[in-house]
Amino acid sequence: MNSFSHAFDEDTHGQILIAAKIEDKEMILSYKDDGDGMNIIYNIVTGKLKGSIRVESALKKGTELIILLPNVLKD
């Protein structure tokens, strides 16, 4: 819900799509929106979750984050 409130103005309608799968030793999440809600996702993934992000973007089609997370967090 936080992502949705940051991605879109109150007068704007939008869409957020999230998908997940596990490959080898990583969880792969795909987060896509057609707004501006990416900053909070980046900070959580790269900071607290020790993951990485690949960005794919297409004009007038929005931006998709491919999120790679370790299955086990190490101290």
pLDDT of the residue at 22: 92
Instruction: Write the burial class of residue 13 (CB in 10 Å: 0-12 exposed, 13-18 middle, 19+ buried).
Output: exposed
Tens digits of residue pLDDT in 32-41: 777 666 777 7
For 42-65, the pLDDT digits (tens) are: 888 899 899 999 888 888 777 787
Q: How far is CA 13 from CA 7, 41, 75, in A?
A: 10, 20, 40
The CATH code of domain 2-70 reads 3.30.565.10
Dihedral of alpha carbons 68, 71, 73, 74, sign: negative
